[in-house]
């Protein structure tokens, strides 16, 4: 611990990202919810034709060309779209823009099991936080969110790492119960569910929906996220952005993202392939006695039958297959398994059978 760190730096508990393989290491990587298929072929053309002199200039601050393409696909106006350097940055800006800080502020309401960056942001920005326990089946307790007197709400839908989708009618109940505060719906995995809260935007000015190109568009390495909401909320995000970094999305990223978004047919074809594989592997694991909730994401939340999840995780890692294990209350018996190609998932099943004694053990 450095003696030069301030108190915040000393006491903060940072987010822990999934393990990344070393260069040249042969790994089946099923631990960070990336897309196993390549981005649109049109991306290559953009990269091959990069105008080098363009890089001498700062990028356009609002990511206009990206917002315009997103608006077409999402059915909104460009004025309703905000872009940032990955959805994590967009979430961070949102926490700063809409949720009050200080010990006397009303707490932000989040599920007790959800994206683990939420409590990190709350701690970093001194936002009081109240965790609402998920039900026993890991579904969000809508009634509890409606009864609490909070200063805003944030949750992922479908939720992570549980993979469970909350019905839009329940999202609407939460919106109605919090009319004076922002309800942030993190839709990083919405493409794999076919359900989005964006349809509620005309009715609720307090709704902010965030998304990413990392999962559905195969652009995790590009770092581009977005938010969609009432123009008043978007203006708030711009005020925070311009108080931190007026150029969060670089010029190349803007051009790549705009062509990838426009190629919606390519994106949705990959999404369909992932969903088909997801459902097949879920059935395979259930046939082995595993507990696997119905997933509406590009990953499975799965509990082994007769062997601790941590032991499965460790043994898979030894075989060169990375999945995610969370040593946390209530979910320490589960693994989060990203959906890869069919070949990768078949290799996973074979490895699980070798570790756990076979499908019929």
Determine the pLDDT at residue 20.
87
Residue 28 to residues 12, 32, 36, 356, 358, Cα–Cα distance (Å): 32, 11, 10, 19, 20
pLDDT at 134 over 90: yes
- Overall average pLDDT of the 125-133 stretch: 97
Categorize the per-residue pLDDT at 22 as very low, low, confident or very high, splitting at 50, 70 and 90: confident
Q: Is the pLDDT of residue 359 over 70?
A: no
Q: What proportion of the chain, given as a percentage, has pLDDT over 90?
A: 93
Judge whether 206 and 180 are in contact, CB under 8 Å.
yes
pLDDT score, position 24: 78
CA-to-CA separations, 53 to 57, 61, 154, 177, in angstroms, rounded: 8, 18, 41, 52
Contact 115, 163 (CB under 8 A): no
Q: Is the pLDDT of residue 361 over 80?
A: no
Q: What would the mean pLDDT of 179-195 be, rounded to a whole number? A: 98
Confidence of residue 301 (pLDDT cuts 50, 70, 90): very high
In the chain, % helix, strand, coil (3-state, to 5) comes to 40, 15, 45
More confident residue, 190 or 16: 190
pLDDT at 305 over 60: yes
Distances (CA, A) of 276 to 204, 271, 283: 34, 9, 11
> Closest Cα partner for 96 from 242, 253, 303?
242
Please say if the pLDDT value at position 304 is more than 80.
yes
Please write down the HEC assignment for all residues of 271-284: HHHHHHHHHHHHHH
* 10: enclosing H helix or E strand: helix 7-11
Q: What is the pLDDT of residues 318-331, one digit of tens each?
A: 999 999 999 999 99
Confidence class for position 360, pLDDT limits 50, 70, 90: low
205 has a pLDDT exceeding 50: yes
The mean of the pLDDT values for the chain is 96
Span 1-16, average pLDDT: 90
**Cα separation of 82 and 72, whole Å?**
14
What is the separation of C-alpha 216 from the centre of its chain, rounded to a whole number of angstroms?
Answer: 11
Q: What is the pLDDT of residue 25?
A: 82
Task: Give 63-115 pLDDT, tens digit per residue.
Answer: 999 999 999 999 999 999 999 999 999 999 999 999 999 999 999 999 999 99
The per-residue pLDDT for range 269-283, each reduced to its tens digit, is 999 999 999 999 999
pLDDT in tens, 339-353: 999 999 999 999 999
User: Which string of DSSP letters, residue by residue, matches 166-191?
Assistant: PPHHHHHHHHHH-TTS-EEEE-TTGG
As a whole number of angstroms, the distance between CA 212 and CA 117 comes to: 15
Burial pattern 22-42, b for ≥16 Cβ within 10 A else e, equals eeeeeebbbbbbbbbeebbee
């Amino acid at each position: 611990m450095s003696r030069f760190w301030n108190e915040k730096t000393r006491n903060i508990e940072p987010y822990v990202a999934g393990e990344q393989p070393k260069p040249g290491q042969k790994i089946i990587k099923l631990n960070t919810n990336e897309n196993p298929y390549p981005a649109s072929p049109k991306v290559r053309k953009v990269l091959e034709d990069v105008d080098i002199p363009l890089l001498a200039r700062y990028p356009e601050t609002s990511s206009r060309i990206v917002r315009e393409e997103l608006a077409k696909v999402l059915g909104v106006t460009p004025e309703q779209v905000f872009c940032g350097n990955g959805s994590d940055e967009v979430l961070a800006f949102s926490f700063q823009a809409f949720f009050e800080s200080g010990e006397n502020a009303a707490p932000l309401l989040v599920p007790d099991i959800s994206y683990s960056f939420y409590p990190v942001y709350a701690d970093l920005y001194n936002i009081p936080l109240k965790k609402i326990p998920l039900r026993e089946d890991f579904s969000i307790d809508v009634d509890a969110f409606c009864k609490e007197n909070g200063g805003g709400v944030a949750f992922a839908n479908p939720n992570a790492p549980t993979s469970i989708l909350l019905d839009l009618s329940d999202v609407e109940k939460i919106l109605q119960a919090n009319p004076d505060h922002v309800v942030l719906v993190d839709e990083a995995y919405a493409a794999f569910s076919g359900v989005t809260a964006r349809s509620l935007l005309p009715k609720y000015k307090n709704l902010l929906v965030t998304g990413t190109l990392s999962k559905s568009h195969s652009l995790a390495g590009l770092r581009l996220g977005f938010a969609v909401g009432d123009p008043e909320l978007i203006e708030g995000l711009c005020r925070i952005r311009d108080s931190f970094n007026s150029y969060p999305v670089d010029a190349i990223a803007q051009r790549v993202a705009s062509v990838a978004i426009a190629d919606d047919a390519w994106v949705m074809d990959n999404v369909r392939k992932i969903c088909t594989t997801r459902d097949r592997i879920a059935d395979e694991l259930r046939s082995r006695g595993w507990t696997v909730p119905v997933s509406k994401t590009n990953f499975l939340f799965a509990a082994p039958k007769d062997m601790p999840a941590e032991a499965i995780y460790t043994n898979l890692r030894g075989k060169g297959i990375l999945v995610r294990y969370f040593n946390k209350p209530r979910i320490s018996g589960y693994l989060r398994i990203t959906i890869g190609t069919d070949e990768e998932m078949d290799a996973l099943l074979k490895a699980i059978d070798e570790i756990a004694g076979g499908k019929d053990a």
